[in-house]
Structure 1
Amino acid sequence: MPCLAKSSLMNTPMPTPLVVGAGPVIRALCEEIGLVETVNQTVAWDAQRCHLSPGERIFALIVNLLTARQPLYRVHAQFQLTDVPLLLGSGRTAADFTDDALGRALDKVAAAGGATVFSAVATRALLHDHVWTPDNPVFVHGDRTTRSVYGTYPDPDSASGVHPTYGHSKDHRPDLRQILLTLLGTREGIPVVGTVQDGNLSDKTLNAEMIAALDDDFSPQQLQQLVYVADSALVTGPNLKAMADRSLRFLSRCPDTFRAAQEAKTAALAANAWVPLGKIGERADAF
């Protein structure tokens, strides 16, 4: 009986399959709001010297953030497993998205102002989805949270960058330094303005800075269309004056430190028109 030799194909390693996952959906959404074009119009860059535009590299970072969540130095390795031409365009390779290349794109965003670039993209999304119309007020909700960080950071007395510091930790990790993330978004869920701040700023200070930052992102006419929604930390004398100076309407809760708040509660309870529903919490002062 003749001996049957094993086929050479059996010894040939199978190529690693390339994937795109949710990338095409993310690309379609970014194309709808013109993300790449908006970034390229907002930052300073030289089209003759850049192999890829900053907007393309920022888009690649967004894809990574929403899918693989790899650190900057690992993004290109993740794209080696991705059908890059299909997802990011013909002629693109994983080598176009090294940490050096992505870092240079982030430097351009930082030079233009991260909040400025963010707001330019967000405003275009608002217009695309017809959230911003001349006849209707736009309700924007402001809130903030903390993010604990690890490691060694520059001297907090230096003038550059955001400084992770100790503060009131919403993560319940007072042993760690933190940064503050602030976001202003519409009730439709579209972010409008986002900032990163030092970790020990008070809510009252953050509201004051957010109100001032609106001048960079909205025209006086657009400010008159906004309704700024925030918690009771918004209601301070300086903040009220700053909003009045801009004809900016707001919706908030009167702080308990105001006599008017206590008088309103007393009058409401005295009306005796309430239906008891029980306590909503276990704290001693819960209603």
Structure 2
Amino acid sequence: MNVQVKKVYRNDYLNIISALFKKLGLPQLIDHLVPVDPQCQTRVSDAVQAIIYNMFDGRQALVHVERWAQEIDLEKLIRPGLHPSWLNDDALARHLDRLYEADIHKVISTCLIHIYRKEGLSLRAFHADTTDKTVYGAYESASLEALQITHGYNRHHRWQKQIGFGLVGNEDGIPFYGDVHDGNLPDKTWNPEVLSRVHEQLKQAKMEDEWIYVADSAAMTKDTLAQTKAANAFLITRGPSSLRIVKRALAEADSPHIPWSEPFTLAERNGATYRVWETSSTYEGHPVRLIVVESSALDQRKGKTLEKERTKEAELLREEQARWERHPFSCREDAEQALASLKASLRPRFHRVEAAVEEIVRPKKRRGRPKKGAEPEVETLYFLHLDVEFDQDAWEQARRKASRFVLVTTVPKEWKGQPMDAQEILKL
């Protein structure tokens, strides 16, 4: 693709984003939330649009945005009369400060609510998650109200300076709430807080209908369950494997009488297949549904762990075979005792082991040359013989168990006139 074609494609791409931004009325809304300063040549909406378009066009540092603005049709993309030199890094930084002082989270929330109402987007279910960004340098917060860049354990379990990001979006992945938070804020604290804020946003927008909150296993806490109920919402989360009710559900799922569903898929083609089974329990005083899910897409880490266990077990069994083949017993009784002890100690997961006492009669070794015509002496020895065979059925069963997880939900079985069975919960 030559340079000219790239430039045309780039301009068309930015024009589409600009047209969408203006169609939604976001520049006017931003300037209403953060009023225009008569002493400034630019507006907050100019800075916001310039930074957003720049991010879509490759993302430069603020100090380079002014130079980038000279390469695009700024007046068409943002507004007539806007000069690239006005978008220098000092001007952009001042507008970012003004956004923060005007309560950046409120500005973002108001804009997102405006988009949802204007486009009639789905408010049925929201997915929430966090991530972190490691930073370097000596950061000192000016006040307790400012963002705290502090040490915390990041996703790689390293103790580093970081900030946190949180995002809540609907079923189509369209953001509804976003925040930047302190570097060491745990998800177990963030979930109840964000539930309260999303509920407040819905109230302000007069969208107070029931909704569903979907989050990872950090949401399985007493505070989150209580706040979910207070926010007129229902929770779907993954049950931590350490919880007693989750262990019980997984153990019960192994019973032969469990009525698993027929296999199904959620993708149109080449997708994983699932089976589900549901039970119920209570947690911290809240009634919950427990949905055991079995997926054909075995987690890569779990698969590697199982392979390592199988290889290690095979090596240990080969060592046992070689050891007992070199260890004769003179007495059958001693051999039988050793056999009983060996059977009690060997508990292989992925192999079948048949062990038995093997009797061998052989010439007895003597020093020196035997006398001519003398009958050779013989001795009877006893060995433990191990017959090891890979157990394919046990291996498949272990893989199935490793591919199981438990969803915990407070969503009723019928909600808003629609059945909410286990399969529907997994879809969400």
Instruction: Identify which range, 185-194 or 94-103, moves more after superposition.
Output: 94-103
1:184 is aligned to 168
Match of 1:142 in 2: 128
Match among 100, 116, 119 for residue 110 of structure 1: 100
Q: Is the contact made by 1:116 and 1:216 (CA closer than 8 Å) also made in structure 2?
A: no
CA distance in structure 2 between the aligned counterparts of 1:99 and 1:88, rounded to whole angstroms: 17
Which whole-Å CA distance do the structure 2 matches of 1:69 and 1:141 have between them?
Answer: 27
Which residue of the partner structure matches residue 210 of structure 1?
194
- Of Structure 1 and Structure 2, which has the larger fraction of its residues in strand? 2
2:219 matched residue in structure 1: 234
* Aligned match of 2:158: 174
**Which residue of 111, 126, 150 maps to 1:121?**
111
1:36 maps to a residue whose letter is P
Say yes or no: does 1:283 pair with 2:266.
no
Number of residue pairs aligned between Structure 1 and Structure 2: 264
- The one-letter amino acid of 1:151's match is G
Q: Counterparts of 2:200 and 2:85 in 1: how far apart (Å)?
A: 36
Displacement of 1:85 in angstroms is 2.1
Question: Which letter maps to 1:208?
Answer: P
Q: CA RMSD in A?
A: 2.7
Q: Distance in 2 between matches of 1:257 and 1:44?
A: 51
Distance 1:279 1:240, change over 3 A: closer
> Which of the pair has more CA radius of gyration?
2
Matched with 1:71 is 61
TM-score normalised according to structure 1 size? 0.81
Of 242, 245, 265, which residue of structure 1 is paired with 2:250? 265
Q: Does 1:58 align with 2:48?
A: yes
Change (3 A) 1:257 1:33: same
Q: Distance in 2 between matches of 1:257 and 1:68?
A: 43
Distance in 1 (CA, whole Å) between partners of 2:14 and 2:157 is: 35
SS of 1:177 mapped into structure 2: strand
Distance in 2, Cα, partners of 1:88 & 1:55: 9
Letter in 2 for 1:39: I
SS of 1:106's partner is: helix
In structure 1, the partner of 2:416 is none
- Structure scoring higher RCO (CA < 8 A, sep ≥ 6) equals 1
Q: How far does residue 208 in structure 1 lie from its aligned partner after superposition?
A: 1.8
How far does residue 145 in structure 1 lie from its aligned partner after superposition?
Answer: 0.9
Q: What runs of 5+ residues in structure 1 fail to find an aligned partner? A: 1-16
Match of 1:12 in 2: none
Measure, in 1, the Cα distance between the counterparts of 2:36 and 2:172. 33
- Relative distance call for 1:70 and 1:21 in structure 2 (3 A) is farther
Query: Which residue of structure 2 lines up, in the alignment, with residue 249 of structure 1?
Result: 234
Report the CA distance shift for 1:245/1:86 in structure 2 as closer, same or farther (over 3 A).
closer
- How far residue 259 of structure 1 moved from its aligned partner, in angstroms, is 2.4
* Equivalent residue for 1:194, pick from 162, 174, 178: 178
Matched, 1:89 2:205: no
Name 1:164's counterpart in structure 2: 149
The CA distance in 2 between the partners of 1:278 and 1:74, in whole Å, is: 45
Equivalent position amino acid for 1:99 in 2: D
Q: Work out whether 1:30 is the aligned partner of 2:21.
A: yes
Alpha carbons of structure 1 residues 209 and 233: separation in structure 2 relative to 1, 3 Å: same
Check the 8 A contact 1:145/1:182 in 2, yes or no.
Answer: yes
Give me the TM-score of the superposition, normalised by structure 2: 0.56
Partner of 1:6: none
1:149-184 CA-to-partner distances (Å, cap 9, x unmatched) read 2222115x95142222232222x3726422111100
Read off the aligned partner of 2:194 and give its amino acid letter.
M
Alpha-carbon contact 2:127-2:214 (below 8 Å) kept: yes
Find the aligned partners of 1:226 and 1:278 in 2 and give their Cα distance. 29
Q: 1:93 to 1:26 in 2, by over 3 A?
A: same
Match of 2:391 in 1: none
